[in-house]
Structure 1
Amino acid sequence: MLQESAQSGGRASKKLGSVAVQAVKEIGKGVASAVSSILSAGGGAVVLVLILTVILVAAIVASPFGILFSNESREAGVVPLSAAVAQVNYEFNERLETLQTADDYDSISVTGQPADWIEVLAVFAVKVAGSNDADAADVATMDADRIARLKAVFWDMTTIAHRIEVIHHPGSGEDSGWTERNLYITITAKTAEEMKTAYHFNRNQIAALDELLEQRELLRELIEDAYSVSGDTAALIRNLPEDLSPEREAVVRTACSLVGKVNYFWGGKSLVIGWDVRWGELRQVTAAGSSTTGTYRPYGLDCSGFVDWVFYNATGGDYIIGHGGGAMMQHTYCTPILWEDAQPGDLVFYPEDNHVGMVGGWDEDGNILIIHCASGYNNVVITGKDGFTSVGRPDYYVQRE
């Protein structure tokens, strides 16, 4: 079962260790010297040591290494790093989709991959927090401004080029032949090493970038964190009914853990505990029945795939609500109920089971909130009930409550 987001943040903070100290080593040396002097003097030494420790932590957060704290905040408008990455992937997907749907192509070929996200994040942190420019900012909180800057770095490191091949196939007799149109998309990525020159990094920035890249695994954990939630989502969790059953609470918390983090992908499924490393990878949509079939986009989940992942993770891998099917199959494992009887964790459906979501709770005005992986948003989102016409109680609860 997924744990509280605070636990993840605690693990990340504990791993900061010597790396963060190196990032502000000059400040650290000064603090250490001052601490030594204060301890020798006695008296109010403990208070002063605490003050200096706070100063050191603040200096770390303000440095490029502040990105290692980026999953800690629960402020409104601030999202976990994985959600910020998903927003950039959304824009990447839009550009790819625009190219692929501009015409009716006979074939589409995509080569290359976008820039390595770990390197993008390291370059972003150094560029934004490691400069002396007037617009320098910390990277410990991923708000709209930081995400816009992250997008700029991503697109400086990722280029999409395309060409269209037109082949005319002549016919014979009355057959005039036909014209073949093939689309070739090439994605080119720059490395962090190349960006040192592109961004004219100074000696300190280069040193900080090299040290951040040594923390590749920690950065990867931040990207693949399926535990942290945004401030807005944390509010929904805090407002869950006190008498809600443990099973339902676990399901809703697990659903909230993916809000904003995983892009929509037709036919996207996952029975993986925690983060699925395939999410965000550029893949071809192979499932039939969608306008996106045959196109390439970052891998993620579809609506029923999201619900499957939620129940699978909430139960530690013991339960698959749809038993391998889609929204229609998931609906067959539910008992129809009235909207006024709905509780957090119940499932909601579009007409003809064209879409499935989950009751998350209610807003301050008493309006029901739905958590779902929606193609229109290209992400896991929390919305109102628009479009959902029926609600069902999964057999999973009936068997346990």
Structure 2
Amino acid sequence: GVVIAVVVVICLCGIILASPLGIFFAGPDETTGAISPTQAVAQINGELGEKISSMQAEGGYDTLEIQGQPPPWSDILAVFAAKTAGASGGTTVAILDAANVEALRTVFWDMTKLTSSSREVEHPANGDTPAWTERILTVTITARTPDDMRVFYSFTEEQNEALDELLANSNLLATLAGDLTISDATAKKLLADLPADLDPERRAVVETACRLVGKVNYFWGGKSLVIGWDSRWGQLSKVWADGSSTTGTYRPYGLDCSGFVDWVFYNITDGDYIIGHGGGAHMQHTYCTSISWEEAQPGDLVFYPEDTHVGIVGGRDENGNLLIVHCASGANNVVITGLEGFTYIGRPLYYGE
């Protein structure tokens, strides 16, 4: 009887995993190359920002205006799961491998319609500034609803029932899109290799930093003093901070390098400590004590020349080389890399306070 009960449970689990509800169990898998829903969402959000930026660049427009937002990711995931696993002979959505990520990307763009228009505004001369013509691009984002997609994809009765059930659990789907579970394989290995006697505060810094690997896009001037997942992450926002080639463009909101470090220390202290004390990487550096590279420990900070970038020492690789967790503009995400580019190291005063 016990054996039969176990078999029944296993069969039921298999049925759920093979159904559209399998999306709730989606996670990374090194053997298949599958990634977490949060990582997939960050990838596609980044692609949206790149597409809109290219529309502005290709037309040589001076100003970009955005009207509307993409549909909620809970809606997109629900439609994707019902379409992919709910179809006759469908495939599981419990594994977001390359094929399923591509299928999710297709659903996103089917639900996210971009249209554009342009206009010119004449600006008269003002003092030493001559008259000039401003070329403005307006991109309108029209979000299709799950009900629109029922018709668009010609859902069957079974798919419609699955979609209804998924939409009834939209809060859980939204959580999937902002999951802070450590899912990146490189991050898991880094944590597994940490010294057993590492100070608990340092371990907390590295673990918290790894929670965002692959999940939050880079955003110049992006800050977040929020405990846990920031609901603004991923939403198209105008880059307002000066000093970047992206200033004035629209990108998925995320973090810059110092914003990432601030978020980590803010979260490990339940909101009691901001390592930069309101400033950027330079201010974070001033609240560190200079140490030698030989003294480096997980949780210390490293900096580019002139404090143009900051990262967190995560540990060492099998050859003893330092690994750095940082929010990098080049990768448009939180990544783990080697020491390339970092020339200074400091020990946060936080560890002595």
- Shorter-chain TM-score tier: over 0.9
Please, which moves more after superposition, 321-330 or 75-84? 75-84
CA distance in 2, matches of 1:378, 1:70: 23
Amino acid paired to 2:30: E
What is the deviation of 1:176? 9.8
The answer on whether the counterparts of 2:224 and 2:259 sit within 8 Å (CA) in structure 1 is: yes
SS at match of 1:89: helix
Percent of matched pairs sharing the same residue: 58
What is the letter of the counterpart of residue 45 of structure 2? N
Matching residue of 1:370: 324
Q: Which residue of 1 aligns with 2:9?
A: 53
Q: CA deviation at 1:74?
A: 5.5
**Does the CA contact (< 8 Å) of 1:268 and 1:301 recur in 2?**
yes
**Equivalent in the alignment of 1:155:** 109
- The corresponding residue for 1:129 is 85
- Partner Cα separation in structure 2 for residue 75 and residue 231 of structure 1: 7
Kindly provide the CA deviation profile for residues 137-158 of structure 1, in whole angstroms up to 9, marking residues without a partner as x: 2111223222121111101111
Does the CA-based 8 Å contact 1:373-1:380 persist in structure 2? yes
Q: State the shift of 1:116 in Å.
A: 1.8
1:292 aligns with 2:246: yes
Per-residue CA shift, 1:154-184, capped at 9, x if unaligned?
011112222222356799xxx9964331111
The change in CA–CA distance for 1:169 and 1:278 in structure 2 (over 3 A counts) is closer
Cross-structure match for 1:75: 30
Name the CA distance, whole Å, in 2 between partners of 1:278 and 1:170: 38
Largest Rg, 1 or 2? 1
Q: Deviations over 1:209-242 (max 9, x none)?
A: 0110000111112222223422332121111111
CA distance in 1, matches of 2:21, 2:7: 21
TM superposition shift of 1:103 = 5.0
Q: Structure 1 stretches of 5 or more lacking a match?
A: 1-44
Root-mean-square deviation (Å)? 1.9
Q: Is residue 354 from structure 1 mapped to residue 308 from structure 2 by the alignment? A: yes
Distance 1:165 1:375 in 2: 31
Q: 1:272 to 1:320 in 2, by over 3 A?
A: same
Aligned-pair distance for 1:271? 0.7
Partners of 2:135 and 2:239 lie apart in 1 by: 20
Q: Does 1:113 align with 2:47?
A: no
8 Å contact 1:74–1:234 — kept in the other structure? no
Note the alpha carbon deviations across 1:73-122, whole angstroms, 9 max, x for none.
45363332111100110111110111233355343211011122111000
Query: Out of 197, 208, 211, which is 2:151 matched to?
Result: 197
Contact kept, 8 Å, 1:160 with 1:188, in 2: the verdict is yes
Are 1:380 and 2:334 counterparts? yes
Bigger Cα displacement from structure 2, 220-229 vs 355-364: 220-229
Structure 2 partner of 1:100: 56
Q: Which of 15, 20, 45 is 1:89 aligned to? A: 45
Corresponding residue number in structure 2 for 1:257: 211
Deviations 1:38-84 (A, max 9, x none): xxxxxxx111110111010011011100011124x453633321111
The answer to whether the 8 A contact 2:186-2:336 is kept is no
| Counterpart amino acid of residue 99 in structure 1 | M
SS in 2 for 1:381: strand
Tell me, in whole angstroms, the C-alpha distance in 2 between the residues paired with 1:325 and 1:250: 22
**Mean Cα displacement is larger for which, 256-265 or 357-366?**
357-366
User: Partner of 2:58: helix, strand, or coil?
Assistant: coil
244-253 vs 313-322, which moves further = 313-322
Residue 165 of structure 1: SS of its match in structure 2?
strand
2:198 equivalent in structure 1: 244
Q: Which moved more, 1:218-227 or 1:241-250?
A: 218-227
The runs of 5 or more residues in structure 2 that have no matched partner are none
- Map 1:210-289 to 2 at 5 A: 210-289=164-243
Cα distance in structure 2, aligned partners of 1:177 and 1:299:
34
Task: Name the residue aligned to 2:258.
Answer: 304
